[in-house]
Chain A
Amino acid sequence: MKKYSIFSLVRNAVSYHERWSEAWRSPEPKGAYEVVIVGGGGHGLATAYYLAKEHGITNVAVVEKGWLGLGNTGRNTTIIRSNYLWDESAHLYEKSLQLYEGLSQELNFNIMLSQRGCLNLAHNQHDLRQLSRRVNAIRLNGIDSEILTAGQIKALVPILNCSPTARYPVLGGSLQRRGGTARHDAVAWAFARAADARGVDIIQNCEVTGIRRDGGRVTGVETTKGLIKAGKVGVVVAGHASVLAEMVGLRLPIESHPLQALVSEPIKPVLDTVVMSAAVHVYLSQSDKGELVLGAGIDSYNSYAQRGSLPIIEHMLAACVDLFPIVSRLRMLRQWAGIVDVCPDASPIVGKTPVEGFYVNFGWGTGGFKATPGSGWVFAYTIAQDRPHPLNEPFSLERFHTGYLVDEHGAAGVAH
């Protein structure tokens, strides 16, 4: 892997940038691998990278049905934070945030992690009580979080409508200063490049159509490029969890929904922090390019078509204009949707399955981008060791039988 730096940039400028090499290879699949990862999104690529780096397993293929990183990894609103209520979630997402904090250097690719803070608003007494509970829990879990008064919020986000007569007055909020955003594509590309450099084969335009088993054990995957044998198979397919699980006869408690997002035309900076309001259902940040990036809740129907419905957009913008009156004359430039797999408790499933050598990592719902490195890290451990890491042990498939749920629904509101 040729190193990226200002020096390499200058050096290559001399040769008119004609000597850069490709960021990753595009090999044909070998007949067999030690591990095959299904799904070339951020989570799948991170898994392959950590398998190679942490566990020395480099005979790995990532099999992607389209081009890498264009699923939810390339569609999300890039919010990163670890201020989760429950201990189980807090520890997992915090691990991920810590990995993010060193990722640009570790992968030698600027993923533009921008920790400009993530602010959650409270609009009524009930919100305030919930906020206090969360902030206390998060702090005692050793994660940064603080309560802000309406006055402090106004100073931090001047464009926010903090009038006490607003329909949803801002009564307070919680701030995670280490929260923020990162460039989503860069995360996928950085992991792809680093995994490839360690010998991982990334096989694009190769759809997995079946899972081969022998007795209770997985032996390989059938793909549009033929059979690929594998000692172990890890499935990391946001939006298609149920489809892949079906291939080994697993039924999942997952529902797939469209989740929409949109951006405005680029404007000069007006907003540094990420602002989220569960009560009015909108969240907002401004990208480095100057676009306001907005998201909201899921479309309530189930779907695999990556299209959402207009009413969600209208409500999201009504809430946004209400909170930020100055944005009314800005314009929506693009809108899109991804398919998110949502578990009943809004927490992911990362672990083993009844099929030996068949591991799953999905159900991250509306909020898995922030988990990308952490998810890959624990999943690589799970595959390599054939047992979950303590961080992902609570997120087993069995929890839906035992009732040991990690319910981030009520507590998390809009969970991005």
Chain B
Amino acid sequence: MSPQRHRLAAGGRIDRSRPLNFTFNGRRFEGYAGDTLASALIANGVTPVARSFKYHRPRGIVGAGAEEPNAIVQLETGARTQPNQRATRVELYDGLTAASVNCWPSVNFDLGAVNNLLKRLLPAGFYYKTFMWPPGFWMRYEYFIRRAAGLGKAPAAPDPDRYDKMHCHADVLVVGGGPSGLAAALAAGRTGARVILADGQNEFGGALLDGGAEIDGGPALDWVAAAVAELEAMAEVRLLPRATVAGYYDHNYLTIVERVTDHLGAAAPANLPRQRLWKVRAGQVVLATGSVERPLVFADNDRPGIMLASAAATYVNRYAAKPGSRAVVFTNNDSAYRVALDLAEAGIEVAAVVDPRPEPEGPLPARTRARGIEVLGGQAVVAAHGGGRVAAVEVMGLDQAGGGVIGESRRVRCDLVCVSGGWNPTVHLFSQSGGRLRYDDALAGFVPDRSAQAERSVGAAAGTFALADCLARGFEAGLEAAAEAGFRRKGRSRRAPKAPAQEEAPLRPFWVVPSTVARGRGTKHFIDLQNDVTVADVALAVREGYRSAEHLKRYTTMGMGTDQGKIGNVTGLAVLSELVDADIPSVGTTTFRPPYTPVGFGLLAGREVGALADPVRKTAIHRWHEDRGAAFEDVGQWKRPWYFPRAGESMHDAVNRECLAVRNSVGVMDASTLGKIDIQGPDALRLLNWVYTNAWDNLKIGRCRYGLMLGEDGMVMDDGVTTRLAEHHYLMTTTTGGAAGVLAWLEMWLQTEWLDLKVHLTSVTEHWATVAVAGPRARELLSALTSDIDLSAKAFPFMSMRAGTVAGVPARVFRISFTGELSFEINVPASYGMAVWNAVMMAGEKYGVTPFGTEAMHILRAEKGYIIVGDETDGTTTPGDVGMDWIVSKKKPDFIGKRSLSRPDTAREGRKQLVGLLTQDPKEVLPEGGQIVAEPEKKPPMKMIGHVTSSYWSASLGRSIALALVYGGHKRHGETVHVPLIGKTVSAVVSEPRFYDPEGVRLRG
């Protein structure tokens, strides 16, 4: 392992007593606790760390935070691998393994760099202009393009980690734990308000972590420590470090991504989730999100070793890592002078500070000069030289307007260039919240203007940079926010923390350095480093008419990388405005959309995956079915027994056996999944009359009636039997899959249109277990289990209900039938379901009682021509279409769907109507979903006259049967139609859709 050659001997917030080993691109290195991967790489002098997306140019680390465009790595390997991690945001841990992405065979020698040689052929949007020949070849080109694109790799295995979600409320949510945010949290917290303070970094302090500053007369970091301690002691304050606020939605709803065990390596406690998604509904929000430095653009400004001045300061001060040994500082504002001084203090030679401002004056330039550093006023870095790393820069004088270079060029040797083009307030969350931005000329950047939600931006995020002002404004905002949330300051008033005033000269707005060669000729001026978008690309886009900020972004891909253009976007707009000769505010800004930084899919999914993706519903009798080896089918969320195969039986055998048992003796089915809605209230009857097509007025207590429910469009929506239990008490059943939808439908009407109806609905689906006993011997079987219900046909007629006891359990028994056989549906409280089922099985032993599943049920009902909503109907089917005109009341003044039924097309003759189909070869079972034609000899596109809705082998009839919807079907009985399939066409005769016991003798018996 190599020593940390670029580690400063002292200083920094790293823990030198805790060395950590890590591997990068296969080489082993050492860093310290407190490092990020980026700072550890710098401390080890590793460069380049990455290749760019398009030209595969070597790249180094540019930033120190979320803005990093270059240092994108693949973290770890195997199932826990993560693509596209920013090295600047990965906290170092022991055993960390990372690699550069999108380069081959290695970051130092990358074959993709051939693109850099071809770069003149690859301007912005080149792919729109080529790859069109020969026609149809695009997908072959695309094959290679796809393989060349993409950064890291997805894991190859499922995610072994867990993710949690937290919902909470806050009176005041403070985003960002720098000086402004801490001051705001302190002020708000002291009022007793419930405060959450979230910060993406592993410790609070924000920009203060870089050291140097003073607050309340002492080192700023002492103040930070005291502030954090005070906040920690407050009962109503929650501190969330390592927690990035990612999204700002309507109604002050924000999401926070907390990295719980990320970057802890082997030390991560196994009981904790990897990450937590906090979903916060905040009374008030204080955005103290700071700012991001932006670069100045010059020729070949992408060389490794060229970085943001603030980042260089962070590496030196916070991490004691030396990003270079001889630096040039290039800045249009005072802040980077402080960096020059810090570098010098750390023993890094500062060759010069280059400043486009003609005469840099004021305390900072003066201190810099006093330190012996040359200050080159009115000059600019025009180009960088070097291969794998910057080796020198060229410096030239600027003309008055900054539009041209003058004088001789001077070459300055260096291996580090620290650039500062000013600061962009981090307005992403503000913009997401719907707030309007304003361009501030003095700052040359966008700042929050008008809030759209209960929110205030403070500190650098609002364009306030002086520490003293940040503290004062943060404190004040904390008090205001708390007050608006209903919390006033209590007790003795405390004053805001104070910091010494600083004097800084204004910046000179400056974006792209002019050069002696026309831009885009030979050298490249990069605006978006990750996507390799240059000034020439922007110029090309503008030349071609892509002049709006949005068009520009889409045409050049500027700002579309994983860094979302955090350092380049404003520069890009400035270049655009210059080219179209308009001011920056009028070319506008692109909208910031959530998230601020990328959020894991797994985190957003949370626990709702795998078995918890959707509740699995099982009936009270499920265990029995499982024990008997039932095959199940999914119906909505329910698991229903599909059929009960015996040893050696195929599905076909089992289903035939089940069907015959019901027809010839007795079968039993678990019908618990049917939706059940308990309806009570004096207006229950009115509700039924509204939602069903038939009339309900004369239904006697204890009687059942079948009903069809239509949508407003007159199409069948659901069906089921409703029973009158008492004067104002009904039990409605629905289809298994439709239960929730029907309840929601009824509630929608009750809550939006029929507020006057006195009626209450309760879903009781899961309260009852339903055992359906069906077949000619059903009565005999049941009579052994009940003594208090007279089962005789006279006393207990078809379509009625009796309450009593079955197998000693209080039960409601319904005499209804979906199989066409004599049938009783025993409803008992769900907890007794299994007991009653077992009692039925025992009592039925002597009749050979046979459990049957949904497949047999489907066949039995099809033999009778009963429809299944969703099979024989598809949302375009009226009651008349399925031959159920009889159920549509002609007398009722109105019901849902009535008006639509009279529309010309709905009332028309010849619609798709329900018929039976009997194949010419009785052994041939038509496939469900087969399309029906009259002229099978034609070639596609063919005229289709209908489709097969249900189709089975009927063991009872010894032949196949099918139901179908056919245009004008009611008048086609006897006609032969055809179903073209792949490789053959099946012919069938249209029939009445009732194949078995059409008079219904058996079910009334």
Contact = CB atoms under 8 A, between A and B. Distances in A.
Interface string A41-81: 00000000000000000000000000101100010000000
Contacts of A16: 120, 518, 520-521, 536
Contacts of A67: 548, 550-551
Nearest to A108: B132
A327 B604 CA distance: 12
B610 interface: yes
Given A114-B142, A136-B931, A310-B253, A4 B132 contact: yes
A130 to B, nearest CB: 7
B928 interface: yes
Contact of A330 (B600, B928, B982): B600
Contacts of B905: 399, 402-405
Contacts of B633: 124-125
Given A22-B543, A133-B928, A325 B159 contact: yes
Interface string A299-322: 000000001011001110111111
Given A102-B135, A310-B253, A403 B127 contact: no
Contact of B159 (A4, A116, A307, A328): A328
Contacts of B495: none
Contacts of B142: 112, 114, 288
Given A114-B139, A289-B149, A405 B713 contact: yes
Interface size class of B (residues with CB under 8 A): 35 or more
Nearest to A308: B249
A267 B154 contact: yes
Contact of A407 (B600, B737, B875): B875
A17 B600 contact: no
Given A9-B130, A23-B545, A329 B82 contact: yes
Contact of B613 (A74, A110, A319, A334): A319
Contact of B605 (A189, A318, A399): A318
A6 B127 CA distance: 10
Contacts of B121: 9-10, 13
Contacts of B548: 67, 70, 204
Contacts of A159: 154
B511 to A, nearest CB: 20
A266 interface: yes
Interface string B144-188: 011101111111111101000000000000000000000000000
B598 A333 contact: yes
Interface in A80-114: 87, 91, 102, 104-105, 108-110, 112-114
A133 B562 CA distance: 43
A309 B250 contact: yes
Contacts of A70: 548, 550-551
Interface stretch (B40-48, B397-405, B836-844, B937-945): B937-945
A265 interface: yes
Contacts, number: 319
Interface in A114-136: 114-116, 123-126, 129-136
Given A104-B138, A334-B593, A321 B544 contact: no
A48 B531 CA distance: 34
B389 interface: no
Interface in A317-369: 317-322, 325-336, 344
Interface string B923-938: 0000111110100000
Nearest to B84: A265
B947 interface: yes
A265 B563 CA distance: 10
A318 B152 CA distance: 22
Looking at A20, A110, A186, A280, the one whose CB has the most chain B CB atoms below 10 A away is A110
A410 B874 contact: yes
Contacts of B653: none
B585 interface: no
B128 A110 contact: yes
Contacts of A333: 562, 564, 595, 598
Interface stretch (A30-38, A139-147, A214-222, A380-388): A139-147
B634 A124 contact: yes
B146 A269 contact: yes
Looking at A116, A133, A140, A329, the one whose CB has the most chain B CB atoms below 10 A away is A329
B165 to A, nearest CB: 8
Contacts of A167: 610-611, 613-614, 616
B805 interface: no
B573 to A, nearest CB: 15
Given A16-B120, A20-B540, A130-B929, A185 B903 contact: no
Given A108-B132, A139-B940, A268-B150, A280 B601 contact: no
A247 interface: no
Interface string B572-614: 0000000000000000000001110011111011101111011
A69 B545 CA distance: 13
Contacts of B875: 407, 409-411
Contact of B150 (A137, A266, A399, A405): A266
Contacts of B146: 269, 286, 288, 290
A8 B151 CA distance: 30
A336 B635 contact: no
Contact of A20 (B544, B605, B616, B642): B544
Interface string B700-712: 0000000000000
8 contacts: A125-B634, A142-B941, A265-B152, A266-B151, A310-B249, A317-B604, A321-B605, A407-B876
Interface of B: 80-84, 120-121, 123, 126-133, 135, 138-139, 142, 145-147, 149-159, 161, 247, 249-250, 253, 255, 279, 434, 518, 520-521, 536, 540, 543-548, 550-551, 554-555, 557, 562, 564, 593-595, 598-602, 604-606, 608-611, 613-614, 616, 633-635, 642, 713-715, 737, 870-871, 874-876, 900, 903-907, 927-931, 933, 939-942, 944, 947-948, 980-982
Given A18-B543, A105-B135, A321-B159, 10 more contacts: A4-B128, A23-B545, A130-B929, A134-B929, A137-B947, A167-B616, A317-B605, A326-B158, A331-B600, A409-B875
A-B pairs, 8 with minimum CB distance? A290-B150, A132-B929, A403-B903, A133-B929, A410-B875, A328-B602, A328-B159, A331-B598
